Amino acid sequence: MAQEVPELALWSARLLVYLSIALLFGLVPITLLVLRPAFASARRSGTVVREKLLRRTQHVVIASLVAGASGTFLMLLNNALEDASLRDISLGLGSFERVLTTNFGQWQALRFPFLTALGILLVGKIGPWLLGGATATDERAPRRWWAIWILLSGALLATVPLTGHAGGHDLRVPAIVNDFCHVAFGASWISGIVGLSYLLPGGWQGHGEKTPLAVLAPAVDRFSHVAFWSIAAVAATGTINVLLHLGGLGRLFDTGYGRTLLVKLGVVACILIFGAINHFLLRDRLTAALATEQPSKHARLLRRNVRAELILGIAVIGATSALVGSPPPG
């Protein structure tokens, strides 16, 4: 009799897949709204930071492609094992075939061509094109490259609500549209946090740059606005999700799904606290430090906060993975 994939492995696979898909999608708005304008305002400064950012972004994209494909395979394998287990047969191609006859199987399987296509589109082109147009001497990436990136990563992102609880809801279309918006804004936010905490390593110290904080200060300033609107949208669509899937706030406390959701909301509340500190206390001081061309102690504090936000953001995705793995009571 076939064995099932251990629940912890399945949860980890979901977390990896969701984080990967979020990054592949969220890098687009974060690059266009935050990183490219920040480099444009830094003018000649930021060369060292730029090289590191492009290298690290390439690594993040490749890691996301590999993790997304591996996690998706594990999820399909689990579905096939459950089919085999239900039938008392050994795992074989027949079980995979039966999984592919279902909606969730087909949408999950479609992630492979989406990931492959994103690999073809992005790998090797991040370096010359990601920040293209930020300075006067740059070559600008073709618009259709960006358009196709948005299209492919958006389609990849859509597989999340299509294979989740929204796909099985009585109000299928509104539930899927709302969930898509929820994960799209969440993806933009987490990608911005990854951008500030990991992709801009030189930005924090300004090593080798003429003007310390030349890239970081405008990046933080711009991301602050993106984060505000993203989190507001995530909260609004998340509230609708609660009403759609939970069927009432009372069920927050008396069901496993509701309690997991409470944990997620608690983590989000912590993120909001860090975000508020960054937005209202540290952002202006960082901009002031840039004006005086002096290193700022606030940059260190901000970096610690952003790292904490990154950990909490991954915890939110972890809680989401647990929610997807448990039945909604509504």
Partner 1 sequence: MGGTSVAVAHGILESASPEPKSRVQSVPRLVRTTLTEDPLPEGRYLVRDGCGRIVNASFEVDGETISARVADAQPGNWKVRFDFISSADGHRYNETYTFSVAGSKDCSPPADEEMEEEAGDDSAGGSGSTSPPDESSHGGAAGSIPASGTTQDVPFGPLTIATAAVIGLAVFGRRSAATSK
Please say which residue, 92 or 208, places its beta carbon nearer to partner 1.
92
Contact 182, 248 (CB under 8 A): no
Query: Per CB under 8 A, which of residues 142..201 are in contact with partner 1?
Result: 142, 144-145, 147-149, 151-152, 155, 163-165, 167-169
How many residues does this entry show for the chain? 330
Give the burial class of 146: count Cβ atoms within 10 A of its Cβ; 0-12 exposed, 13-18 middle, 19 or more buried.
middle
Is residue 42 helix, strand or coil? helix
Q: What is the rounded distance in angstroms from the CA atom of residue 29 to the CA atom of residue 194?
A: 13
- Closest listed residue to residue 305, CA positions, set 276, 326, 328, 285: 276
Enter the DSSP assignment of 171: S
Largest CA distance in the chain: 72
Query: Per CB under 8 A, which of residues 92..151 are in contact with partner 1?
Result: 94, 97-106, 108-110, 112-114, 116-121, 125, 128-129, 132-133, 136-142, 144-145, 147-149, 151
Q: What is the rounded distance in angstroms from the CA atom of residue 167 to the CA atom of residue 170?
A: 9
Binding segment for partner 1 (CB under 8 A), chosen from 16-24, 50-58, 79-87, 314-322, is 79-87
Residues 6+ apart with CB under 8 A from 311: none
Q: What are phi and psi of 148, to 5 degrees?
A: -70, -35
Binding residue count for partner 1, defined by CB under 8 A? 66
Q: What are phi and psi of 227, to 5 degrees?
A: -65, -40
Please say which residue, 119 or 218, places its beta carbon nearer to partner 1.
119
By CB under 8 A, residue 254 contacts partner 1:
no
By CB under 8 A, residue 12 contacts partner 1:
no
Please say which residue, 186 or 328, places its beta carbon nearer to partner 1.
328
Residue 107 CB, nearest approach to partner 1 (Å)? 10
Please say which residue, 139 or 253, places its beta carbon nearer to partner 1.
139
Please say which residue, 139 or 291, places its beta carbon nearer to partner 1.
139
By CB under 8 A, residue 4 contacts partner 1:
yes
List residues binding partner 1 (CB under 8 A). Answer: 1, 4, 79, 82-83, 85-89, 94, 97-106, 108-110, 112-114, 116-121, 125, 128-129, 132-133, 136-142, 144-145, 147-149, 151-152, 155, 163-165, 167-169, 324-330
